[in-house]
Chain A
Amino acid sequence: MNRVSNALLNLRQMDDLACKDTPIHRIHPLAKIVVTLAFLVTVVSFGKYDISGLLGLVFFPVILMALSELPGKVMLKRLLVLEPIVVGIGLFSPFFDPREMIFFGLTISAGWATFLSILIKGTLTISAGLLLIATTGIDRVAEGLRMLKIPKILVLQILLTYRYILVLIEELSRMTRAYFLRAPSDHGIRRDAWGSFAGQLLLRTYDRAQRIYISMSLRGFTGEYHCGKNRPMRGGDWVYLLGWCGFFALARWMPLAQLLSLGLKGVMNP
């Protein structure tokens, strides 16, 4: 199977994961979106050297992973795909900020602390986004966004872009398969074929997207995307929302890692 087909399977796997039936999957999408946003705000609110504070927030993705029964290996693979971007962003920090600082009893350069902080922040925010999609699904995320009064056109844009990516990868998969069947010794698409390949891909996906749009129009689509699963927020949803927001507030003002280390010291030296 070529890499394009793999990408398609990976994307569809996220849709499959969102169809699971666990306590986390059953939470109202609005509650999950607000909690994710609160988490992101909390993560980015920490200073660039404040690594110990960030460590407490690791509980959020870990607990969510465990309760939603998502396969760790699959989620880790998705996370690692985006990790090089985070590394790229923080890579030069050690060169620009050579001051020394004490970190957990060790003397390191402040640049390395910044790099570590960017790495942790990136990992936490990406995992929160992945968990939201994998436990909610794009349709229900859209439903939640509409409840948050995000403009219809913007939500529709997100949904159709997501669908268009699938169409694009499907067509790309067919074209690359056809190409390599007739060019078995090539390791990649030859440079002189790049132009026609990209042009064909655009035309084919446009054509396919047009047919899908016609199919949607014929079934009454006029611009409003109805997912049909909207129910009011219930007690459990509020507990989830307020519970996590409370936890984030606690983690922000009372760094959990420090509390835990103090607690451990207290236990070891009574």
Chain B
Amino acid sequence: MSHHRVEMRKVSYIYPDGTTGISDVSMLLRHGESVGIIGANGAGKSTLLMLLLGILFPAAGEVLVGDVHVTPKTVSSIRQRVGLVMQQADDQLFMTTVYDDVAFGPRNEGLNEQEVAEKVKAALETVGLAHLGGRAPYKLSGGEKKSASIATVLAMEPDVLLMDEPTAGLDPQARRRLIRLLNRFTHTKIITSHDLDMIMDTCDRVLVLKDGELVGDGAPLALLSNSTQMEEWGLELPLSLMNCPNCGAQKK
């Protein structure tokens, strides 16, 4: 069985105030798949990520990473295999230098400084920030911060990479660089985003959540080009699939 497999079996979660997070969600993600999770605000995307990482635990159903059930007892081993890039890079960068931030995870694994240095170097080179290791995180631009926060996760060499709104707040060029970077990764990727064009560019499968329920699962183009269905889900067509705003000419 692959360690990179992620599975949810009839998972439900209800917040303490009674709000439904997700309801009866089942899905199976295989090794190397790149999956986009989309949905309107409050659809349950972030809840789903938190359940995969053991930040929350399901009220019903079960979550598996590889063959291991996500429970309070297994959570530390799960977190070595699943990495999360948070929506706000500032929440992920809390040390005094970029190097120390990237080294935080490997050091907690108990590696010696030479091994840590090798991992940090490799992670920073992957995201193109090798020259900024000594810089304070608060002095980085938005795009650099996002790349640095990805490096903090890559340094732990996870099997599965989770990303919460990775392109939020990035300028067009930084966004394009990030898409190229994501496409280079061979990890199993789960990306939640409202940037549907980025989802089309990086994912080979899309899951749609609505009011906590899984309502769509399929190839990006097939799902995202159906304007009637997209409207039902509280979404819009990706910009790249919209007709010309000037002359109304249809996309081929």
Partner of A219, one of B55, B91, B116, B152: B152
Q: Which residues of B contact A226 (CB under 8 A)?
A: 104, 107-108
Q: Which residues of A contact B108 (CB under 8 A)?
A: 219-222, 224, 226
Given contacts A12-B138, A220-B76, A222-B76, whether A215 and B105 have CB atoms under 8 Å apart is no
Partner of A220, one of B86, B100, B105, B138: B105
Q: Does B182 contact A (CB under 8 A)?
A: no
Min CB–CB distance A1 → chain B (angstroms): 15
Min CB–CB distance B93 → chain A (angstroms): 9
Tell me which of A15-23, A30-38, A179-187 binds B: A15-23
Interface residue tally of chain A, by bracket? 20 to 34
Q: Does B29 contact A (CB under 8 A)?
A: no
Query: Are B55's CB and A214's CB within 8 A?
Result: yes
Query: Are A19's CB and B96's CB within 8 A?
Result: yes
Query: Are B156's CB and A228's CB within 8 A?
Result: no
Given contacts A12-B138, A226-B107, whether A217 and B96 have CB atoms under 8 Å apart is no
Q: Does A163 contact B (CB under 8 A)?
A: yes
Q: Does B53 contact A (CB under 8 A)?
A: yes
Q: Does B195 contact A (CB under 8 A)?
A: no
Q: Which residues of B contact A163 (CB under 8 A)?
A: 94
0/1 interface trace, chain A 20-51, chain B, CB 8 Å (1 if under): 00000000000000000000000000000000
Q: Which residues of A contact B109 (CB under 8 A)?
A: 220
Q: Does B134 contact A (CB under 8 A)?
A: yes
Q: Does B136 contact A (CB under 8 A)?
A: yes
Q: Does B4 contact A (CB under 8 A)?
A: no
Q: Which of B170-188 contact A (CB under 8 A)?
A: none
Smallest Cβ-Cβ distance to A16: which chain B residue: B136
Min CB–CB distance A14 → chain B (angstroms): 10
Given contacts A18-B96, A19-B134, A217-B79, whether A208 and B91 have CB atoms under 8 Å apart is yes
Given contacts A222-B76, A228-B103, whether A215 and B86 have CB atoms under 8 Å apart is yes
Judged by DSSP, the binding face of A is helix
Query: Are B116's CB and A228's CB within 8 A?
Result: yes
Query: Are A216's CB and B104's CB within 8 A?
Result: yes
Q: Which residues of A contact B153 (CB under 8 A)?
A: 219
Q: Which residues of A contact B86 (CB under 8 A)?
A: 211, 215
Smallest Cβ-Cβ distance to A231: which chain B residue: B113
Min CB–CB distance A186 → chain B (angstroms): 28
Complex CA gap A229/B55 in Å reads: 30
Q: Which residues of B contact A139 (CB under 8 A)?
A: 95-96, 100
Smallest Cβ-Cβ distance to B153: which chain A residue: A219
Smallest Cβ-Cβ distance to B155: which chain A residue: A219
Q: Does B167 contact A (CB under 8 A)?
A: no
Given contacts A226-B108, A228-B113, whether A137 and B103 have CB atoms under 8 Å apart is no
Min CB–CB distance B89 → chain A (angstroms): 10
Min CB–CB distance A8 → chain B (angstroms): 9
Query: Are A218's CB and B116's CB within 8 A?
Result: no
Min CB–CB distance B65 → chain A (angstroms): 13
Min CB–CB distance B139 → chain A (angstroms): 9
Complex CA gap A103/B132 in Å reads: 56
Min CB–CB distance A159 → chain B (angstroms): 10
Q: Does B97 contact A (CB under 8 A)?
A: yes
Smallest Cβ-Cβ distance to B109: which chain A residue: A220
0/1 interface trace, chain B 118-153, chain A, CB 8 Å (1 if under): 000000000000000010101000000000000011
Q: Does B88 contact A (CB under 8 A)?
A: yes
Which 9 interchain pairs have the tightest Cβ spacing? A220-B108, A219-B105, A226-B107, A211-B91, A15-B96, A228-B107, A215-B92, A218-B79, A212-B94
* Complex A-B: 7 CB contacts under 8 Å: A12-B138, A18-B96, A139-B100, A215-B94, A219-B104, A219-B105, A220-B109
Given A208-B91, A214-B91, A220-B108, output 18 extra A-B contacts at Cβ < 8 Å: A15-B96, A138-B96, A163-B94, A212-B91, A215-B86, A218-B55, A218-B79, A218-B84, A219-B104, A219-B105, A219-B152, A224-B108, A226-B104, A226-B108, A227-B100, A227-B107, A228-B103, A228-B116
Residue positions of A touching B, CB distance < 8 A: 12, 15-16, 18-19, 137-139, 163, 208, 211-212, 214-222, 224, 226-229
